Chains A and B, each alone.
Chain A
Amino acid sequence: MSDSWAVDVEDVSKNFGDVKALDGVTLRVRQGEIYGLLGPNGSGKTTLIRMFVGLVAPNAGTVTVLGQRMPNVAMLSHVGYMTQAAALYPGLSVEENVRFFAAINGTEGGVKVALEFVKLYDRRDSVVSTLSGGMRQRCSLACALVHKPQLLLLDEPTVGVDPQLRVELWAGFKEMADAGTTIIVSSHVMDEAERCQRLGLILFGKLLTEGSPDEIRARAGTPTLEEAFLSLSQSRA
Chain B
Amino acid sequence: MSGKRVAAITKRLLQQFRRDRRTLALLFVAPIVILGLLGYLIRGSASAQVVGIANEDQGPIGATVAAALARSSGISTTTIQSSDGDSKLKDGSLAAYIVFPSDFSSQAQAGTIAPDVHLEGSQPGTIAPVLQALQEALISAVSSQAPGQGLHVQPRISYLYGGPGFDTLDYFGAAFIGLVVFFLVFVVTIVSFLNERSQGTLERLMASPLRRGEIVLGYMLGFTVLALIQSVEVLVFALAVLKVHNSGNVALIFGIEALMAIAAVNLGIFLSMFARTEFQAVQFIPLVIVPQFLLSGILFSVSSEPKPLQLLSGVLPLTYAVNGLRDVMVRGADLSWGSLQLDVGVVAGFIVVLVIAAATTLRRRIA
Q: Which A residues contact B (CB, under 8 angstroms)?
A: 50, 53-55, 57, 73-74, 76-77, 79, 81, 83, 85-90, 101, 104-106, 143
Q: Which residues of A contact B367 (CB under 8 A)?
A: 57
B58 located at the interface, meaning its Cβ lies under 8 Å from any Cβ of chain A in the complex: no
Do B208 and A77 touch (CB < 8 A)? yes
Interface residues in B, total, Cβ within 8 A: 14
Do B207 and A79 touch (CB < 8 A)? yes
Do A83 and B199 touch (CB < 8 A)? no
Given the known interface contacts A55-B366, A57-B367, the answer about A89 and B201 at a Cβ–Cβ threshold of 8 Å is: yes
A57 to B199, CA, bound (A): 23
Please indicate which of the listed interface residues A81, A87, A88 has the most CB atoms of chain B within 10 Å of its own CB.
A87
| Extra contacts besides A76-B207, A81-B204, A104-B210 (11): CB < 8 Å | A50-B207, A55-B206, A55-B366, A73-B211, A74-B209, A76-B209, A77-B208, A81-B207, A83-B200, A88-B201, A90-B199
The answer, among B203, B209, B366, for a CB contact under 8 Å with A87, is: B203
Residue in chain B with minimal CB distance to A72: B209
The answer, among A77, A79, A86, A104, for a CB contact under 8 Å with B205, is: A104
A55 to B200, CA, bound (A): 13
A16 to B209, CA, bound (A): 26
Interface of chain B: mostly helix, strand, loop or mixed:
loop
In the A-B complex, the 7 residue pairs with the smallest Cβ-Cβ separation, listed nearest first, are: A87-B200, A53-B207, A81-B207, A77-B209, A76-B209, A87-B201, A104-B208
A34 to B206, CA, bound (A): 24
Q: Which residues of B contact A55 (CB under 8 A)?
A: 203, 206-207, 366
Q: Which residues of A contact B366 (CB under 8 A)?
A: 55
A101 to B366, CA, bound (A): 19
A89 to B209, CA, bound (A): 19
The answer, among A50, A57, A106, for a CB contact under 8 Å with B209, is: A106
Q: Which residues of B contact A77 (CB under 8 A)?
A: 208-209
Separation in Å of the B148 CB from the closest CB of chain A? 80
- The 0/1 profile, CB within 8 Å of A marked 1, for residues 188-208 of chain B is 000000000001110111111
Residue in chain B with minimal CB distance to A88: B201
A104 to B210, CA, bound (A): 7
24 residue pairs of the A-B complex, CB under 8 angstroms, read A53-B206, A53-B207, A55-B203, A55-B206, A55-B207, A55-B366, A57-B367, A73-B211, A76-B208, A76-B209, A77-B208, A81-B207, A86-B200, A87-B199, A87-B200, A87-B201, A88-B201, A101-B204, A101-B208, A104-B208, A104-B209, A105-B208, A106-B209, A143-B204
Q: Which residues of A contact B204 (CB under 8 A)?
A: 81, 83, 87, 101, 143
Separation in Å of the B176 CB from the closest CB of chain A? 31
- The 0/1 profile, CB within 8 Å of A marked 1, for residues 169-200 of chain B is 00000000000000000000000000000011
Residue in chain B with minimal CB distance to A76: B209
Q: Which residues of B contact A76 (CB under 8 A)?
A: 207-209
A81 to B209, CA, bound (A): 12
Q: Which residues of A contact B203 (CB under 8 A)?
A: 55, 83, 87
Q: Which residues of B contact A104 (CB under 8 A)?
A: 205, 208-210
Q: Which residues of A contact B211 (CB under 8 A)?
A: 73
Do A105 and B209 touch (CB < 8 A)? yes
Q: Which residues of B contact A57 (CB under 8 A)?
A: 367
Residue in chain A with minimal CB distance to B211: A73
Separation in Å of the B277 CB from the closest CB of chain A? 16
A226 to B206, CA, bound (A): 35
For window 312-367 of chain B, which residues contact chain A by CB distance below 8 Å? 366-367
Separation in Å of the A5 CB from the closest CB of chain B? 20
Q: Which residues of A contact B210 (CB under 8 A)?
A: 104
Please indicate which of the listed interface residues B201, B203, B207, B208 has the most CB atoms of chain A within 10 Å of its own CB.
B207
Residue in chain B with minimal CB distance to A78: B209
Q: Which residues of B contact A50 (CB under 8 A)?
A: 207
